[in-house]
Amino acid sequence: MNREHHYSVDVAWLGNRGSGTSHYREYGRQSAITARGKHPIDASADRTFHGDADRWNPEELLLAALSECHMLSFLHVAVGHGVVVTDYTDAADGTMQQEGDGGRFTSVTLHPLVTVLLSDGAPLDPELFEAMHREASEKCFIANSVNFPVHHEPRVVVAD
């Protein structure tokens, strides 16, 4: 069954300091990202590219999208396998290679830490959790849309 979904966001540049883009260092990189009914996200370029370090940059937003997509896919997979997840955190990192005025991400690694509740006496099956992360990766729309590898270095712990 093929279904098409559509998403919309609005991005507004807030960095005109009075002379627009008259020179590379004459304009700010601030922007606001909005979607109907949601709080705005204050964004900018990375500090390296004359942006504001206290605002989200596109590279961080890409990492966040990949991390959240994998998390949501993993939680869905957990239900299907009868695994009770009680906590999930991730510390994602990515590598971008700059080439002249352009560049591209070359890889992202997700580091999910998943806390699970086991039935009385049930053993922890690390192979099952590896398989669940692979399945979640296959289901993640964002990871399936990028042209670089998204690696996973998951850890699982049992809830007290």
How many domains does one find in the chain?
Answer: 2
* Total Cβ atoms within 10 A of residue 63: 19
42 and 68 part of one domain: no
Six-digit token string for 57: 């940059």
pTM of the model: 0.87
CA distance 13 to 54: 16
pLDDT at 12: 81
pLDDT at 78: 93
73 and 40 part of one domain: no
**Are the CB atoms for 98 and 140 separated by under 8 Å?**
no
Six-digit token string for 44: 């900018």
CA distance 71 to 5: 20
CA angle 132/133/135 to nearest 5° reads 65
What phi and psi, each to the nearest 5 degrees, are found at residue 6?
-125, 140
CA distance 149 to 151: 6
107 and 86 part of one domain: yes
Range of the domain at 77: 58-158
Segments of the chain scoring below 50 in pLDDT: none
pLDDT at 131: 95
Does 141 fall in a domain?
A: yes
